[in-house]
């Protein structure tokens, strides 16, 4: 099953949901309307033999003022991975959770929430997973500023001059 066949099949079933193809190299992605993501993924799982959610992660596009959730649907039958992308408004991003379809989504969505602040409606326990519970901010957003203090402890900056080393930029 080629990417184009998958696109056509989804387009025939969900004309409003499929918003188009992102022509990226080496792999393309399918743009899906956030409102229909659960039904699209359910259809892919039940009817198109995409048995597994290979990955779910967030992305941040300040230039488009959008947050994005990328779903990697993985099929053992077709030996293929297909990427679905849902663009959300950058502020107050929220999308329906797919935990009802894949148990893997539980932790993956928690991570996307932790790192990007994307809310997943219907998630059983949406709380931080990698950062401490009382951490402020969502670190993988492009405008994230490292706090100077965490619970009264100074957050170390390893390089005084961030221009001296590429690694020092990690904190800016």
CB of 121 to another protein, least distance (A): 20
Nearest approach in angstroms of CB 44 to another protein is: 13
Min dist. Cβ of residue 124 to another protein (A): 12
Residues 137-147 as b/e (b if ≥16 CB within 10 A, e otherwise) read ebeebeeeeee
Q: Which residue has the tokens 């931080």?
A: 128
Beta bridge partners of 18: 32
83 is an interface residue for another protein by CB under 8 A: yes
Site string for another protein, 85-114 (x = CB under 8 A): -----------------xxx-xxx------
Q: If you count them, how many residues does the chain have? A: 172
Site for another protein contains 55 (CB under 8 A): yes
- Residue 72 touches another protein, criterion: CB under 8 A: yes
Q: Is 53 in contact with 98 (CB distance < 8 Å)? A: yes
Q: Which is nearer to another protein, 15 or 132 (CB)?
A: 132
Report angle CA 115, 120, 86 to the nearest 5 degrees: 80
Count the Cβ atoms, other than its own, within 10 Å of residue 74.
Answer: 16
Task: Give the Cβ contact number of residue 160 at 10 Å.
Answer: 7
Closest to another protein by CB, 94 vs 131, is: 131
When asked if residue 76 is in the footprint of another protein (CB under 8 A), the reply is: yes
- 163 binds another protein per the rule CB under 8 A: no
CA angle (42 as vertex; 59, 79 as ends), nearest 5:
75
CB of 40 to another protein, least distance (A): 18
d(C-alpha 146, C-alpha 64), whole Å:
23
Binding stretches for another protein (CB under 8 A): 22, 24-27, 29, 51-55, 57, 59-60, 70, 72, 74, 76, 79, 81, 83, 102-104, 106-108, 115, 128-132, 139-140, 166-167, 169-170, 172
């Amino acid at each position: 099953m080629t990417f184009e066949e998958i696109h056509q099949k989804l387009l025939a079933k969900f004309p409003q949901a499929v918003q188009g193809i992102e022509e990226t190299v080496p792999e393309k992605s399918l743009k899906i309307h956030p409102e229909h993501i659960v039904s699209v993924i359910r259809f892919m799982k039940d009817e198109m033999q995409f048995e597994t959610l290979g990955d779910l992660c967030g992305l941040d596009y300040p230039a488009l003022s959008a947050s994005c959730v990328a779903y990697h649907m993985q099929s053992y039958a077709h030996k293929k991975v297909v990427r679905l992308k849902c663009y959300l408004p950058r502020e107050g991003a929220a999308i329906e959770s797919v935990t009802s379809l894949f148990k893997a989504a539980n932790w993956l969505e928690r991570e996307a929430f932790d790192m990007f602040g994307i809310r997943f409606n219907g998630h059983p326990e949406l709380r931080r997973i990698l950062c401490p519970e009382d951490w402020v901010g969502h670190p993988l957003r492009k405008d994230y500023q490292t706090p100077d203090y965490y619970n009264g402890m100074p957050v170390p900056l390893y390089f005084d001059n961030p221009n001296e080393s590429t690694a020092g930029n990690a904190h800016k």
